[in-house]
A = this chain, B = another copy of it.
Amino acid sequence: MGGDFGPHCIVPASIACLAEYPSLHLVLVGQSPLLEELIARSPEVDRARLRVEHAGEVIGMDERPAQALRNKPDASMRVALELVRSGRAQACVSAGNTGALMALSRYVLKTLPGIDRPAMMAAVPTRTGYCQLLDLGANVDCSAEHLYQFAVMGSVAAEAMGIVRPRVALLNVGTEDIKGNQQVKLAANLLQQAAGLNYSGFVEGDGLYRGEADVVVCDGFVGNILLKSSEGLAQMISTRIEALFREGAAARLIGALAMPLLRRLRAELAPARHNGASFLGLQGIVVKSHGAAGQEGFKSAIRRALQEVEENLPQRLHGRLEDLLF
């Protein structure tokens, strides 16, 4: 029921994913009359693989997580997480209120042994491909131990995505040992001692985009600011390019020729391509779709959940955490 476009985006995206992945089964959780109405618009859909589970309440996008946790036992988000907890679903994908999804996930699914706080991880495009960035806002105050746990989880998750010996780096204001705040310096000490992790040291903001690491670790405050400012800057550059090609007849003509190429670039860098942030460290799979994501974006979030199911990510994390956590 969540996100800027709600079921009007999520239902068709889900139906498209069913067509793409023959082994996929989906349960749509929310207000069943509305969901059924939207499903009915696609008569070709295989209802044996698409079920609706009614949930009477909806958590607002601005609702406080604590309130949602206390007052809405029948919220669609919570019902969906209960399906995962009880084993009736293997993953939960939501475009709803991030804070509420995190709070409910922790409450319903619990964290893995040794993990204090789940982290939110998503892919960021770089010069050489992608890097996985975490945390993205779930934890605004982090100790060195939290950063260490994020590094371990990020590394294992990147391996599950097919990256061999992922280079794990700590985001910092410089690459020399003396740089950084207390938490980052202490986390670096912990990571240097960790066997079985390919720790590559500090990475700066520009190094991240140069592709210097496969997994970049920071606290949720920094990660959120980095991600959102990058979105804002990319959007600004894209808007300025369009404006540039509207200034005068010659520019418009050149623009008509150049825009298809530039649109291809925009599509490559578009958030929809890599939409879907994993909540790592829970006893179950939860993927958060960007609230502003459209159908393509939501499909990408479902795909990310599917990949984590196939790799059995929580189990894999559990196994590695026992070796890697102190």
Contact = CB atoms under 8 A, between A and B. Distances in A.
Interface residues of A, number: 56
B241 A229 contact: no
A229 B228 contact: no
A273 to B, nearest CB: 14
B258 A254 contact: yes
Given A258-B257, A261-B245, A176 B232 contact: no
A249 interface: no
B209 A232 contact: yes
Interface of A is mostly: helix
B232 A229 contact: no
Contacts of A182: 141
Interface in A118-159: 125-127, 137, 140-141
A206 interface: yes
B127 A239 contact: yes
B262 A241 contact: yes
A218 interface: yes
B204 A228 contact: yes
B62 A176 contact: yes
Interface string A218-238: 101110111111111111110
Nearest to A139: B181
A226 B229 contact: yes
Contacts of A254: 254, 257-258, 261
Interface of A: 62, 64, 125-127, 137, 140-141, 171, 173, 176, 178, 180-182, 204-210, 218, 220-222, 224-237, 239-241, 244-245, 251, 254-255, 257-258, 261-262, 264-265, 268-269
